[in-house]
Amino acid sequence: MIQLERIQRRYVTDEVETTALADIDLTIEAGEFLAIMGPSGCGKSTLLNTLGTVDRPSAGRYLFGDRDLATLDEKELAQFRGQTLGFVFQSFNLIDELTIEENVALGLAYRKNGGERRARVAGAMDKVGIAHRGRHFPHQLSGGQQQRAAIARAIVGDPRLILADEPTGNLDTENGQQVMNILAGLNAEGATIIMVTHSPSHADMAKRRIDMLDGRIVASAAHAI
Ligand SMILES: Nc1ncnc2c1ncn2[C@@H]1O[C@H](COP(=O)(O)OP(=O)(O)O)[C@@H](O)[C@H]1O
Ligand SMILES: [Mg+2]
């Protein structure tokens, strides 16, 4: 599904040049559940943002299926993201002024009509166990519920690929486990998942794990499931 070839990402500021991604070669098959680990600053988020096309590589090639994503303009990339990707973040990133169901609906492309929108939103909330929270606002929910709402927003459009950056980083053990069970369930239903985590036990729930250091992949291991 995905092929990264010699991907580099350099950040240049006035004083310093940082190499966030040095030379990444990575192939990801449809149906994988990949965990990315490594110390703070090693490039995990940059890699995930590059995979999500919200960050452009400085060099290298990103193939998605048989498409070279460098050939897409901003509008085409936005369309690609909307149809194909779902994002989950450590800090949930829900909009405080919107209800949970309005937040979840943000994950849908505009083309859906009212009836289908409502059905999709209800289905996604049901799937993550927050069906009865639609009219609440984010601050009225626990952290675990907020992250499940964020997952509902990510999956409401039926994305093929889910990108999660430390999705359990702000959660206690029990809520973190719930989020992991939801991700594992989505993967079992066919979604490809790429997840950054600091938790070895959560990485063990993935099918494969890569370790990064200084912008490079330094180890890769498949888990026996
Ligand atoms: N927008 C940016 N401008 C300059 N440097 C950045 C920017 N984003 C990330 N970096 C640098 O790139 C490196 C990798 O960052 P990041 O991908 O966020 O690491 P991780 O997610 O593994 O903690 C770090 O050295 C970080 O300081
Ligand atoms: Mg990060």
Give the pLDDT confidence score for residue 15 in this predicted structure.
Answer: 83
Give the pLDDT confidence score for residue 220 in this predicted structure.
Answer: 87
Give the pLDDT confidence score for residue 13 in this predicted structure.
Answer: 87
Give the pLDDT confidence score for residue 223 in this predicted structure.
Answer: 74
Domain boundaries, the chain: 2-222
Give the pLDDT confidence score for residue 111 in this predicted structure.
Answer: 65
Residue 224's CB is within 10 A of a number of other CB atoms, namely 4
Tell whether the torsion through CA atoms of 17, 23, 28 and 32 is positive or negative: negative
- On the 0-12 / 13-18 / 19+ scale of CB atoms within 10 A, 164 is buried
Give the pLDDT confidence score for residue 62 in this predicted structure.
Answer: 97
Q: Please write the tens of the pLDDT for every residue from 90-118.
A: 999 999 999 999 999 999 976 667 888 89
Q: With a 6 A CB cut-off, is 41 part of the ligand 1 pocket?
A: yes
Residue 176 has pLDDT above 80, yes or no: yes
Contact 190, 208 (CB under 8 A): no
- Closest residue by Cα to atom 24, ligand 1, is 41
Helix (H, G, I), strand (E, B) or coil at 84: helix
Average pLDDT for 175-195 = 97
Average pLDDT for 24-44 = 96
Residue 53 has pLDDT above 80, yes or no: yes
Q: Please write the tens of the pLDDT for every residue from 63-72.
A: 999 999 999 9
Give the torsion through C-alpha atoms of 195, 201, 206, 210, to 10 deg: 70
Q: With a 6 A CB cut-off, is 42 part of the ligand 1 pocket?
A: yes
Mutate to test the pocket of ligand 1, among 16, 45, 51, 56 (most ligand atoms within 8 A of CB): 45
Average pLDDT for 160-179 = 96
pLDDT band at 224 (very low <50, low <70, confident <90, very high): low
Q: Which helix (H) or strand (E) holds 222?
A: strand 216-222
pLDDT band at 16 (very low <50, low <70, confident <90, very high): confident
Helix (H, G, I), strand (E, B) or coil at 204: helix
Q: With a 6 A CB cut-off, is 71 part of the ligand 1 pocket?
A: no
Ligand nearest, relative to CA of residue 37: 1
Looking at domain 2-222, its CATH class is alpha beta
- Nearest to residue 218, comparing CAs of 47, 1, 3? 47
Average pLDDT, the chain: 94
Q: With a 6 A CB cut-off, is 186 part of the ligand 1 pocket?
A: no
Average pLDDT for 119-136 = 95
Residue written as tokens 């166990």?
129
